[in-house]
Chains A and B, each alone.
Chain A
Amino acid sequence: MSVPAVFDYHPVQSVDEAIALLQLYGDEAKILAGGHSLLPAMKLRLTQPEHLIDIGPIPNLAYIRKEKDAIVLGTLTRYKQIEQSEILHKYYPILPEGTALIGDQQVRNRGTIGGSVAHSDPAGDMPGIVLALKAQLVVQGANGTRTIAADDFFVDTFLTALEQDEIVTAIRLPLPAPHTGSAYAKISNKASHYAIAGCAAVLTINKKGLCTSASIAITGASTRIIRASEVEAALISKKLDDATITSASSHAVANADLISDIHGSAEYRQQMAAVITRRVIMHALERA
């Protein structure tokens, strides 16, 4: 349909205002950020909120800052800003690299990192990247502010640990240890570029060339954003030669619930998760 079902529209000027409205309307309200996922879903009647709370007008939620121990991104930071951020290119090139692969330029002009993370689409790129970066999600609700570790945040397909009256306000990325490399790549569909299988990897190597930390997340292949713990385990304390990486990567989606649809069968996604994981680890390693 060309228009979503009827709703009330509430542009808000502050996070508090947004939270007050969320409290007031409960399940009937939804936050609107870039709108690239929410509005199509509303037009297709996949979701029909009665109140739309537009956080777009809230000032000062679109920023990329380096703090003492973290890099912090405001929830309304657009993909385009991430793509062009010098701070991120320096510390975490995985983020600009990942955003550059999203959809098309119009989506990247408007889509927000907070929207993507809160949307928790298994075929999206940001959730996996944020997970691999071991980000802390700063969320604010009626009971004040709390942070949720990315590992606890992505619960299931389109489901996060956000309470009904909470919104994501920022994403905190711990500063990388020395000799840390990060990378993201995916096998994607034509035109929409949603991931069929993607991998985000953050690796730290010590002086002896051993892997001291590995954080690997898989996008696209599974019905939810997943951490590839078996791959990580197979890398830690190892020297990352080709054989180690290849064998570790073959566990990329071990035990995961795989998607099988017109874009790719479960079998293909599984194979691609392994291939892409190997390639991404190699790439991250080069950067470490």
Chain B
Amino acid sequence: MELEVHINGVIEGLDAVTNESLLSLLRREGYSSVKRGCETGECGACTVLVDGIARPSCVMLASQVGGCTVSTVESLGSAEKLHPLQSAFVEVGATGCGFCTSGMLLSAFALLQNNPSPTEEDVRDALSGNLCRCNGYARPVQAVLRAAALLRGERVEPLAHPTVSVDEVSSVATEQVASGESGKHPILQTSAAASGSGGVTTKIPVISAQMLAPSTPVVPAPRTQLHVIGTATAAHHAVKAVTGKGTFAGDFEPRKMAYARVLTSPHAHAVISSIDVSQAKALPEVLAVLTYKDVPRTPYARIERTGETSLLDQYCLDYVVRYVGDRVAVVVAETAEVAEEALRLIKVEYDVQPAILDQRRAMEPGAVRVHAERESLGIVDAERNIATRVRTEIGDVEQGFASSDHVIETEYLVPAIQQAPIEKYTVTTYFDADDYLVVRTNSQIPNYLRRTLAQLTGLPMRRIRVEQPEIGGHLGLRQHIEGEDLCALLTLATRRPVRLEYTREDEFRSNHVHQQYILRMKTGVRRDGKILASQMVVFADTGAYGTHALTAQSHTVHALALYPCANMRFLAEVLYTNHAPASLSQTYELQHEFFALESHLDDVARQLEMDALALRRLNWLQAGARYPLPLAVGASRGMNTIIDSKGLSTCLQLVEEKIGWKTKRNQRKNDRYRRGVGIALGFYGEPGVLPGTSGASIKLNEEGSFELFAGRSENGSQLTTYLTQIAAEVLGVTTEDILLHAADTSSTPFENSANDVVSFYLNGSAVKKAAEQMLRQILSVAGRILNVLPESLKINHGIIKGAHGMQTTLEQVAQHSLYVENRQLMTTSFWKGQTFPMTFAAQGVEVEVDVETGGVRVLNVVTAIDAGNPINPMLSEAQIEGDVAQALGLSLSEEFFYNQDGVPLLKSWSDAHVFSATEMPELQTYLVESHEGSELFGSKAVAGLAFYGVAPALANAILNAADIRIRYLAFTPERILRAIHAYMSRKSA
């Protein structure tokens, strides 16, 4: 039908079919700022304004907007002239991956139209329909309040991003200051001495005054010589995000696209005894149908493995299906609807097999084998369903337990969850004009994809090009091959561009999940609290395939090392089951270990009747100590085992103070609402040399700007911002002068980092090295222009200065080298995997438990992270807040359920129980600046670290509040209530 719609102020006459949603109409008309996160009205990514009211456009028919006014984010403001809301989002760092940003901005805009002076609660309510998985909502809320004030014509305070500095371990700082040992920082010395205690300082006094309690001295840290590093530079893609210009995997439509849908297994374990696709193939507009009969049975892995081992246990399409949601067949048709219809016409007979739906059963004698096939390679013990295992031990653990006064054993369970980024899995493959097979996908493994697709399609690698658009949240779910192989095979079969886009239900059913872990802790302690022996045994459920079976377990870093002792043992069995295969969290996969360890430590403290923090301080890993679990898996790699970070004790001191440990630990506890506090610690780093590499290239343009080519794209972790800051710092320019090109196998360097932490160090260091080389080239050209030695020159703000006021500009250098010397200045560098510095964190949580309903209200989450010298304190804080939000979901409400037949029960966002803006508690985040840092300007990766302490701190706080210990995540009201009832009946018995 024909419609007349006012879109962004322009009257458009449009044609729509009756069943078309407004979302689809808008995207078809090129308004790609309107995103698709579910299409069932639950996530808000598709929010638009219809006659000024914020609405999800996916549950409105195009036909319904005839005569209406529709506004998308494109109407708010452009990059040249941002609306104050957009500027505020940029300034406060409210854009994570940017996928939810347009929707949030429109909800906020509608709010401010009606209510120019909203309260924080009003803002949270207005954003309640816009789910975000990146930033924990604090920053968007802050941005809206800020913009509202500006729009009312009020003055707003400049933004400040204080960091807390530690020069020495704070508890001994007084003595050192008194004896003048901190002489290199005179300001610190005098002020700290004046107030007579610890070494906690902050850079920006205005904020720090209210931030730190009177007991903690507040003094500005010494100014460093850096110009770009350490500043709150706006996120690299922020302006794009707020203007709706971000291009994600679904924002690209080659002409004549065909659409793929996958038929998936209804059974947890079955053999396909017959499959008939003739009717599906005969359906008009169906272009191709593939089953296992059409593809070679080549075992492959869906994930890059940079180590020595390799585990090949997957097949493009197989006659054995190993989980509900596993691939059976794939159809491509002119439309997704026809493809879907064709799926229903495929006749499959299954020979249903017994299934393993609990990893504890996997190793039992007589258990069915998940991988009985001969072709798979690298499985440690297929007979017992052991995909892989890790064992590491020092000292004599049994003897250690024997000589302990107390031996405490506890078991923990961390259930599967799904990371559920707001953007859905999307891949498009097509042949370009040069007959290259182009793959555009939101899986972040371009080089591995290229190599694997070459194997699976038979095309030479040179004819495959993988482009990585921006990623609408990575969260660990976008680090494997999900459907690229199928999509490529379909393009090969049809010579047509093919898109495979999951629905939200597909994401939950077929995509990977964050695996379930069972952990057994055993600790032997002396009466005074000294740990004499410790052991952690992990049973990981890798699901049907070992996609990430090795990744998580093969770090040399393990939580247990936080409390070193002479006798330690870490064991992990990674087991096959008939669940969805396991993926990762975004960074080091340690949250389950810290949940077990840090809950367990409080149990040990209780048994000893000791203060839980005193127990930690007695046993923890200290600066100068040796990393205690060396040669775990890294036996063949180099190790750097001396711990140099001193941040942990400052972090803990800060959190102890901010959460009110001393006063709130012992509150009255007999009414309906009971409050308690809990604290947990965490750390990561890589004492073993990691395999892996990355490259970077930089080219100087004739106007004095730089093209920077790097291997990894933006995924919400702010890597691209950090990279431009690093290059700008070295080259003496601003980030606007750095034009970044990321992750396109045809033009950017190789990189294969395993996660956001590794990628921070690998890519950051490669960029730094390339920039340093570029600087040397620039200075030598400048030296020739000015006729001086390059060593005497310095660059700042694009101007190269020598002695006696002589100077030249970058532009002059570029032009001189191009047109006088006839050379293009260009550098390339690479960086090898190395050991990474340890980064520590302390987190405290205050909760209120409703003992009638089991509801847990989180009142406050305090996080202090030893961030070295953070590259961008604003974005680091934003990232930490996002990690806390994720961790709260994991701890309190998210859980991946299966029924007794292994059928996943999550279908939509409503089933996922993720936090919305109205549900987030107060977050307090402190970056503790330590000076030992890393070679990367002393900065450390903070990604993911704030994930670790939340669950155990919550567990400890609940224990403190209600005297119940729950060792199973998530702490749903129902589980809490059951524990409370059990506790009460125990007490009355």
Contacts and interface: CB of A to CB of B under 8 A. Distances in A.
Q: Which of B1, B61, B126, B853 has the most CB of A within 10 A?
A: B61
Given A105-B54, A105-B107, A262-B905, A190 B916 contact: yes
Given A1-B39, A35-B61, A263-B911, 14 more contacts: A1-B340, A5-B19, A8-B18, A9-B63, A35-B59, A35-B64, A39-B41, A40-B59, A191-B909, A191-B914, A262-B895, A262-B911, A268-B977, A275-B853
Interface in B945-975: 973-974
Contacts of A7: 18-19
A60 to B, nearest CB: 18
A89 B244 CA distance: 40
Contact of B974 (A52, A192, A265): A265
Contacts of B639: none
Contact of B1 (A9, A194, A276): A9
B249 to A, nearest CB: 15
Interface string A1-28: 1111111110100000000000000000
A264 interface: yes
Contact of A191 (B55, B60, B915): B915
Most buried by B among A7, A39, A263: A39
Contacts of A272: 853
Interface in A158-198: 187, 189-192, 194
Contacts of A262: 895, 897, 905-906, 911
A44 interface: yes
Nearest to A56: B64
Nearest to A110: B55
A192 B42 contact: yes
A135 B128 CA distance: 30
Contacts of A36: 41, 59
A229 to B, nearest CB: 24
A192 B907 CA distance: 13
Interface in B326-342: 336-337, 340
A262 B340 CA distance: 28
Which of B18, B125, B503 has most A Cβ within 10 Å?
B18
B24 interface: yes
B677 to A, nearest CB: 23
6 contacts: A9-B1, A39-B41, A104-B918, A107-B41, A109-B53, A110-B60
A9 to B, nearest CB: 4
Contacts of B852: 275
A167 B34 CA distance: 34
Contacts of B54: 105-106, 109
Contacts of A103: 129
B40 A40 contact: yes
Contact of A3 (B19, B107, B889, B909): B19
Interface of A: 1-9, 11, 32, 35-36, 39-40, 43-44, 52, 54, 56, 103-107, 109-110, 187, 189-192, 194, 261-265, 268, 271-272, 275-276
B554 interface: no
B56 interface: yes
Interface in B895-931: 895, 897, 905-906, 909-916, 918-919
B208 interface: no
Given A2-B24, A4-B19, A106 B55 contact: yes
Contacts of B127: 105
Nearest to B18: A9
Contacts of B15: none
A6 B17 CA distance: 9
Given A275-B852, A275-B853, A3 B914 contact: no
Contacts of B717: none
Interface string B37-79: 0011110100100000111101111011010000000000000
Given A1-B337, A187-B855, A43 B39 contact: yes
Interface in B113-148: 125-129, 131
A11 B63 contact: yes
B64 A105 contact: no
Interface string B1-45: 100000000000000011111011000000000001001111010
A6 B18 contact: yes
A3 B503 CA distance: 11
B259 to A, nearest CB: 10
B619 interface: no
A194 B129 contact: no
Contact of A39 (B60, B909, B919): B60
Contacts of A105: 54, 107, 125-129
A110 B63 CA distance: 16
A275 B889 CA distance: 25
A44 B905 contact: no
A271 B854 CA distance: 11
B747 to A, nearest CB: 33
A187 B337 contact: no
Contacts of A264: 974
A3 B974 contact: no
A87 B24 CA distance: 40
Contacts of B974: 264-265, 268
Nearest to B43: A191
B910 A189 contact: yes
Contact of B913 (A1, A44, A190): A190
B190 interface: no
B915 A190 contact: yes
A11 B55 contact: no
Given A2-B21, A110-B55, A9 B61 contact: yes
A39 B41 CA distance: 9
A5 B344 CA distance: 15
B893 interface: yes
Nearest to A272: B853
Contacts of A192: 42, 909-910
Contact of A1 (B23, B503, B905, B919): B503
A35 B64 CA distance: 11
Nearest to A38: B59
A32 B60 CA distance: 10
Interface string B485-516: 00000000000000000010100000000000
Nearest to B67: A57
Nearest to A8: B18
Given A3-B20, A5-B19, A187 B336 contact: no
Nearest to A271: B977
A107 B129 contact: yes
A187 B977 CA distance: 13
A191 B853 contact: no
A77 to B, nearest CB: 15
A276 B974 CA distance: 14
A54 B129 CA distance: 24
Nearest to B915: A190
Nearest to A192: B910
B55 A2 contact: no
A189 B918 CA distance: 12
Given A9-B61, A187-B973, A262-B905, A2 B56 contact: no
Contacts of B41: 36, 39-40, 106-107
Most buried by B among A3, A5, A8: A3
Interface string B239-262: 000000000000000000000000
B337 A3 contact: yes
Given A103-B129, A187-B973, A44 B40 contact: yes
A263 B907 CA distance: 13
B19 A6 contact: yes
Interface centre among A1, A44, A262 (most CB of B within 10 A): A262
Contacts of A110: 53, 55, 60
